[in-house]
Amino acid sequence: MESRLERLELVQAMLLGIGQISTSCSDITEFVAAVHRALGRIMYAANFYVALSNREDGTVQFVYFVDEVDPTVDPTEKITLATPDQSPTAWVILNRRNLVMTAAENSERTDAQGNAWGRGSTAEHWMGCPLLDHENEALGAIVIQSYSPQHTFSDEDQALFNSIANHVSNALQSLQSKDRLERAVQERTAELERQNAALGSAIGALQEAQSELVRQEKLASLGRLVAGVAHEINTPLGICVTATSHLVQELKLTREELQAGAMTEETLQQFFDILDQSLRIMTTNTQRAAALVRSFKQVAVDQSSDQVRPFNLKAYLKEVLLSLQPKLKGRSVQVEIDCPDDLNMDSFPGAVSQIVTNLVMNSLVHGFDGGGAGTIRLHVELDNAMVRFGYSDTGLGMDAAALGQLFDPFFTTKRGQGGSGLGAHILYNLVTGPLGGTVKAESTPGQGLHYRMRFPQSRRTAKPAGENGVGQFPSRASDG
């Protein structure tokens, strides 16, 4: 019984580890290799591979392949997906279903030409799960197999492997979305820079293109929020699935002992201990998922809406920071909020959400470059119906030359490393536009970055956010 408890604890630690690995890895192959190492600590995984499909050309690539018998597959080789009868991997991807089979079952299957099913050696026990996106479309397949009858996969192993496939699917989508977004922003930024050099005096056309990219960046920020929260929710739900599967197995074993008359007081107490631990795990993780969903729903609606509504500023700031937890997890950065509990606003919560999101992300990317430790502090106070909003971090800071360009569009200290240079520019336009206020920034190298914003408590008579010039360019950073 103790070994079952220990296995459950290892499984929970692994699922949590997968979530942490996906936030720290930027390369798909590196991520899958880390998952393979973690999987090997809880079950037999000497033969393991991941194949990703390409919907555009109907091919599949084995991006990660470790096998005791067959040679390593070239990860750049593209194999055409024809029909499910082509191979077990093709069957899993095209049918979007799990497949578990023995060597005997495999030998009964052949492809359309009557050849042996698949192109590799026949495994004693083969298990594959599809990797599905949020629209239930196949991203690929994850497979584990054994060539020895001494190593086969139980029902509990199969349930665990399916849960791991769900985690890997979400992480892959996050990695792919991040990669596509960074490439798109870099390509668009490079294109605009080339246009600027070529057109010279055509400032009007360039400003229009820049304004469009600002709007795209705001939508991209919401997309990153969706991907991060979806991945974060998948972790507690995956733990609940695993705990439930384990509990079902324990219930089956206990019922068999009871029917066989082998039940003792000690084994019954052990079952109760497992039941208690599993239920506590499920309760904790479902409550965690519910809190994330509540936070995400409000923040996401506000970021996509340009409506004035009443809200409590301190409670709303906590909701925004909760939605940013996927970005803060694993970082030695503390966030402190100093805001009156009764400070209520009647303004644009979407603008406040976007401002705080951009500030925190800029601090993580630029202020705490390389994963350094530090503190982010939000200080808010009310002064005659005007909100004074201070934001500061203890990061690297910047010199006077960089500070003078802080709010300029496309200015970034991370050129070529994924920085679009639009975060502070959007912040400036949101403060001076929808919120109807002012913003100033102060910094010295090594002393962090400090923003001082001031805006009305109520904007009930203000125009919608889209009519306040969002996307226009400030004349000078110090004019904030």
What confidence tens digit (pLDDT) does each residue in 50-76 have?
999 988 888 999 999 999 999 988 888
> Hey, what CATH topology would domain 306-479 get?
Heat Shock Protein 90 (3.30.565)
- Report whether pLDDT(143) > 90: yes
Instruction: Check residue 210 and give its pLDDT.
Output: 55
Report the alpha-carbon distance of residue 409 to residue 282 in Å, rounded: 47
Cα–Cα distance, 335 to 59 (Å, whole number): 45
Instruction: Please report the pLDDT score of residue 66 as a whole number.
Output: 94
CA angle (17, 19, 25) in 5-degree steps: 95
**Residue 337: strand pairing partners:** 378
pLDDT category of residue 466 using cuts at 50, 70 and 90 = very low
CB atoms within 10 A of CB 178: 16
More confident residue, 442 or 4: 442
Separation between Cα atoms, residue 256 and residue 279, nearest integer Å? 22
Q: What percent of the chain has pLDDT over 90?
A: 26
Beta bridge partners of 454: 388, 438
Q: What is the model's pLDDT at position 478?
A: 34
Enclosing H/E stretch for 355: helix 349-362
Q: So what's the pLDDT on residue 473?
A: 35
pLDDT band at 125 (very low <50, low <70, confident <90, very high): very high
How high is the pLDDT of residue 201? 56
In this prediction, residue 295 has a pLDDT band, given cuts at 50, 70 and 90, of low
Residue 430 has pLDDT above 80, yes or no: yes
End-to-end CA gap in the chain: 65
Task: Note the pLDDT of residue 140.
Answer: 93
pLDDT band at 115 (very low <50, low <70, confident <90, very high): low
pLDDT cut 70: percent of the chain above it: 75
Report whether 394 contacts 375 (CB < 8 A): yes
CA 314 to CA 306: how far, in whole Å? 20
201 by DSSP, 3-state: which?
A: coil
Q: Among 93-102, 287-296, 320-329, whose mean pLDDT is lowest?
A: 287-296
Domain spans of the chain?
306-479
- Residue 401: the pLDDT is 86
| Average pLDDT of the chain, as a whole number | 79
Q: What is the pLDDT of residues 392-429, one digit of tens each?
A: 999 988 888 888 888 776 566 654 444 455 567 778 88
Residues whose CB is less than 8 angstroms from the CB of residue 204 and which lie 6 or more positions away in sequence, other chains included: none
Confidence label for 379 from pLDDT (cuts 50, 70 and 90): very high
d(CA 213, CA 471): 9
